[in-house]
Amino acid sequence: MSAGNLTLSLLVGVLFAGGSYLLLQRSLLRVVLGFALWGHAANLVLLVAGGPAGHAPVAGETTPEAAADPLPEAMAVTAVVITLAVTALLLALADRSVTLRGDDDVPDAVEDALAGGDDRGSMEETR
């Protein structure tokens, strides 16, 4: 197994740390940005997993030994598409939340706060 790229590995750590901080925020927009950082981190992990850089893996142009490993790159492309689609969906949700409630904060559950008490009246008040 080849020695990993230290810079990329450290970058993965930084991206995961920054993303985690953003994920813990109330505003959905920040959460989306956090997921964007996480998505990049995961793709870099796939890139590092593919080993050292090489030539473009096109049959007839390079030998298999000199070519970069194409499999993790194919995976990364799939992952990019998925992250893009979910990000778009989350942004749409944030937009809908602003339309309906005026902000894009993730609200608390009313039921959790009231679990155990059967006082329906107070629940209506909280709502």
Partner 1 sequence: MSTTTLLSVPVVLPLIGAALSLVLSPRPAVQRVLGLAVLTAVLLDAVWLLLRVDAADRLVLHAGGHAPPLGITLVADRFSALALLVAVVVCLAVMLYAIGQGSAEKRIENVPSVFHPTYLVLLAGIALVLLTGDLFTLFVGFEVMLMASYVLTTLGPTVERVRAGMIYVSTSLTATILLLTTIGLVYALTGTVNLAQLADAVQQLPAGLREFLGLILLTVLGIKAAMVPLHWWLPDSYPAAPAPVTAVFAALLTKVAVYAIVRTQTLLFPRDEPWVLLLVLAAVTMLVGVLGALVQDDLNRVLSFTLVSHIGFMLFGLAMSSVAGLTGTILYFVHHITVQSALFLVAGLAERRRASTALSELGGLARSAPVVAVLFLVPALSIGGIPPLAGFIGKLGLLQAAVGGASAGVLVVAAVALVTSLLTLAAMGRVWLMAFWGESPREEPDGGSGTTTATRRASGLMTTAAALAVTAGVALAAAAGPLSAYAGRAADDLVDREGYRAAVLGEGAAP
Q: Which chain residues interact with partner 1 by CB under 8 A?
A: 1, 4, 23, 28, 31, 35, 38-39, 41-42, 45-46, 48-50, 71-72, 75, 78-79, 82-83, 85-86, 89-90, 93, 96-97, 100-101, 106-107, 109, 111-112, 114-116, 118, 120, 123
Work out the burial of residue 101: count CB atoms within 10 Å of its CB; fewer than 13 is exposed, 13-18 middle, 19 or more buried. Answer: exposed
| Dihedral pair phi/psi, residue 51, rounded to 5° | 85, -165
Closer to partner 1 by Cβ: residue 65 or 118 = 118
CB of 14 to partner 1, least distance (A): 14
Give me the count of residues in the chain. Answer: 127
CB of 55 to partner 1, least distance (A): 19
Q: Which residues contact 31 (CB under 8 A, 6 or more apart)?
A: 22, 23, 25, 90, 106
CB of 61 to partner 1, least distance (A): 19
